[in-house]
Amino acid sequence: MIDLDIDMRQYDCPFIDTTDDVEIAFSAVQWQLDTDDEQLETRLIARGESTGALEDGLHALRDHPNMRECYILSKRENVAEIGTTIEETNAMRTIQRNGGYITGPFHIEDGHERWHVGFDDDADEDHALAELERHNDYTVADRDQFGPTELFDLLENSDSALRLLEGCRSLTETERETFETAAREGYYETPRATTLEELSNHFDVSKTAVSMNLRRSERKVLQAALSALENMDETVTQTR
């Protein structure tokens, strides 16, 4: 299996056109491509820069000529869960016609869409990408190729990977920035390439504040890693 991470700009997509004009982003939760009716049904999370931006974005989305249906499932402040049905875009049709398939959720922001697309062989991939260039702009951000063994291992341990991802997402913005900066500047190297005092000067806070942010982030990431390892051990035991 070939897995592509594509930064896509379609010229007939309601979501991309909307994020071009309004400070709003969309992340897919569920999707269903109906090739017979040439339409895509989705459940998405819409997040506006403000409550006003969310309202403007949803209004623009409903008025788009390629939008067949758009309705709100729930809404709170600047975030809403919505259901939509759009006409099949050129890129969707191209991927499907060349043996491709969606392998993960997509995210749309600032006029661009991040796609995760799979192919079974190189020829299908080459044909699809060549055809995409005719009507869309795109960049292949990442490409992975999995054999049956690697793919089975990935699927078998997907729950462990999700636990680790959730642990990373639990970091606050301050904890994440502090943790990343400390690692990048060599705080965890031996000997250390930076100190708490230098980090405190970088963030313009006390050494105590930096230390607390690091300890909190370390604890969250470590707990997530341990949970992932325990789940991997359980999976191995069950398959024996």
Of how many residues is the chain composed?
240
Count Cβ atoms below 10 Å from residue 164 Cβ, excluding itself.
17
pLDDT in tens, 76-107: 999 999 999 999 899 988 998 999 888 777 89
Average pLDDT on 127-143 reads: 90
| 200 has a pLDDT exceeding 90 | yes
Distance of CA 35 to the CA centre of its chain: 25
Q: Where are the domains of the chain?
A: 2-145, 153-239
Count Cβ atoms below 10 Å from residue 192 Cβ, excluding itself.
13
| 24 has a pLDDT exceeding 90 | yes
pLDDT for 29 equals 80
At 237, the pLDDT band (50, 70, 90 cuts) reads low
Beta strands at 67-76 and 39-48: parallel, antiparallel or unpaired: unpaired
Q: For residues 133 and 9, is the Cβ–Cβ distance under 8 A?
A: no
Percentage of the residues of the chain whose pLDDT score is greater than 90 = 55
Q: For residues 62 and 10, is the Cβ–Cβ distance under 8 A?
A: no
Average pLDDT on 52-59 reads: 95
What would the two tokens of residue 204 be? 């313009």
pLDDT for 206 equals 95
pLDDT in tens, 149-192: 544 555 566 677 777 778 888 889 999 999 999 999 999 999 99
Q: For residues 116 and 3, is the Cβ–Cβ distance under 8 A?
A: yes
What would the two tokens of residue 88 be? 């099949």
CA distances from 37 to 30, 85, 87 (A): 18, 11, 9
CA atoms of 220 and 39, how far apart (whole Å): 42
Percentage of the residues of the chain whose pLDDT score is greater than 70 = 90
| CATH code, 153-239 | 1.10.10
Average pLDDT on 206-217 reads: 94
The residue ranking higher by pLDDT, 161 or 111, is 111
Q: Coil, strand or helix: which one is 38? A: coil
pLDDT for 158 equals 60
| 213 has a pLDDT exceeding 70 | yes
CA atoms of 58 and 64, how far apart (whole Å): 10
DSSP assignments along 64-104, one per residue: -TTEEEEEEEEEETTEEEEEEEEEPPHHHHHHHHTT-EE-S
**Nearest C-alpha neighbor of 54 from the set 107, 18, 8:** 18
pLDDT for 152 equals 54
Count Cβ atoms below 10 Å from residue 212 Cβ, excluding itself.
14
